[in-house]
């Protein structure tokens, strides 16, 4: 199977909504996924990322990101999601996606790439460590939802 990484396009939104729901279910938080295709279309300038597709242009996974500015270090990239459909895990899809995000962050002269991982997701933690990431338990999420 050939896997190609490309930027997210509007035509991907319907499939992506399905994958967002899968990811929320995987994270044991399905009630928190409230996004919709209509919302994505209204906010499309903020939806940035990559999809991994096979030869049939089927989306196997995705990574989303946005720029941030950390006062201690400067311009950075935050990877919001990295998700690969269960049937395609272990085939290098996640590695290709995150390497594309890393290359993008470097090309944009970011000082770091940051993302989160659930503390119960040991396979992901080990994967991220194998890439050289420092996985710490120093900070906790603070969300104020409107």
- DSSP helix/strand/coil, 66: strand
- Cα gap 121→73, rounded to integer Å: 28
Q: What is the mean pLDDT of the chain?
A: 95
The number of C-alpha atoms within 13 Å of 63 and in the hemisphere containing its C-beta is 27
Q: Is the pLDDT of residue 142 over 80?
A: no
* Phi-psi category of residue 91: left, alpha or beta, with phi > 0 → left and psi -120 to 50 → alpha: alpha
Q: What is the mean pLDDT of residues 111-138?
A: 91
**What is the pLDDT, as a whole number, of residue 144?**
65
CATH number of 4-130: 3.40.630.30
Q: What is the mean pLDDT of residues 109-129?
A: 93
- Cα gap 28→20, rounded to integer Å: 12
Q: Would you name the residues annotated as active-site residues?
A: 128
pLDDT digits (tens, 9 = 90+) for 41-93: 999 999 999 999 999 999 999 999 999 999 999 999 999 999 999 999 999 99
pLDDT digits (tens, 9 = 90+) for 8-32: 999 999 999 999 999 999 999 999 9
**What is the pLDDT, as a whole number, of residue 140?**
74
């Amino acid at each position: 199977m050939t896997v190609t990484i490309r930027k997210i396009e509007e035509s991907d939104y319907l499939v992506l909504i399905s994958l967002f729901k899968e990811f929320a279910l995987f994270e044991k938080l399905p009630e928190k996924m409230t996004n919709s295709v209509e919302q994505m279309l209204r906010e499309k300038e903020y939806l940035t990322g990559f999809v991994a597709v096979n030869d049939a242009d089927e989306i196997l996974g995705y990574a989303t990101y946005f720029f941030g500015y950390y006062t201690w270090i400067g311009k950075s990239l935050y990877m919001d999601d990295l998700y690969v459909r269960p049937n395609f895990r272990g085939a290098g899809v996640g590695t290709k996606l995150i390497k594309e995000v890393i290359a993008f962050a470097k090309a944009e002269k970011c000082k770091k790439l940051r993302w989160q991982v659930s503390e119960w997701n040991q396979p992901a933690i080990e994967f991220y460590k194998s890439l050289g990431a420092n996985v710490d338990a120093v900070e906790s999420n603070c969300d104020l939802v409107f």
